[in-house]
Amino acid sequence: MKPQDILSGKNSLWIFGYGSLVWKPDFKYKRSKIGYITGYKRRFWHGDNFHRGDDEMLGRVVTLIEDDDVCTWGVAFEVIGAQMEECLKYLNVREAVRGGYVTKVVEFFPRGQEESPVLALVYIATPDNPIYLGPATAEEIAAQIIVCKGKSGHNIEYLLRLAEFMRTTCPDVEDTHLFSIEAAAVALLPMLLGP
């Protein structure tokens, strides 16, 4: 399904966040649900020259990489009526223009067995984006994150807040990629701060 089809004739739209949106949506919404999407893994493989880095030192932020065997947890926000246009305008600037993300439609599964899945819009950065960085070790990613900052703040804030969200909101979900980068960044911090 194309992103524009999810909107046609609808008075409600779900947006799935798996990065900074989980702790800083910054748009009006009716309600939110914790849950997951399948077929994608979350990776710190996208570069950022606006929010958490700049052209000289690209920050590292998350994107989704196709992988049949895994799911990615996050938050889906339901926007209704006039909120829809307002939110899409805002996210177009924040995620597409400044972040280099494109939109896709995914099936979102809310936590809790009684809840039915819904279609949701998600922002993804693909490898053909000029500031896509791709894989690196947890230590390499952490070393990059601890020194970068952009107009929305320090890159490490982005990492720590996402890790905190997963630890407190989805305590049973394993996220080795995220938590190994967090551990590597915390281990490197004393070096940055000096004696």
In the complex, the smallest distance separating the C-beta of residue 68 from ligand SIN, rounded to whole angstroms, is 25
Find the shortest distance in angstroms from Cβ 88 to ligand SIN. 14
Q: For ligand SIN, give the closer residue by CB, 5 or 124.
A: 124
Q: Which of 95, 114, 115, 140 is catalytic?
A: 95
Q: Is 86 an active-site residue?
A: no
Tell me whether residue 103 or residue 152 sits nearer to ligand SIN (CB atom).
Answer: 152
In the complex, what is the shortest distance from the CB of residue 17 to ligand SIN, in angstroms, rounded to a whole number?
8
Complex with ligand SIN: residue 98 or 174, whichever CB lies closer: 98
Name the residues that contact ligand SIN, by CB under 6 A: 19-21, 24, 51-52, 61, 94-95, 99, 152, 158
Q: Which is nearer to ligand SIN, 94 or 104 (CB)?
A: 94
Q: Structure tokens of 172? A: 């049973």
Q: Minimum CB separation from ligand SIN for residue 72, in Å?
A: 15
Catalytic (active-site) positions:
95
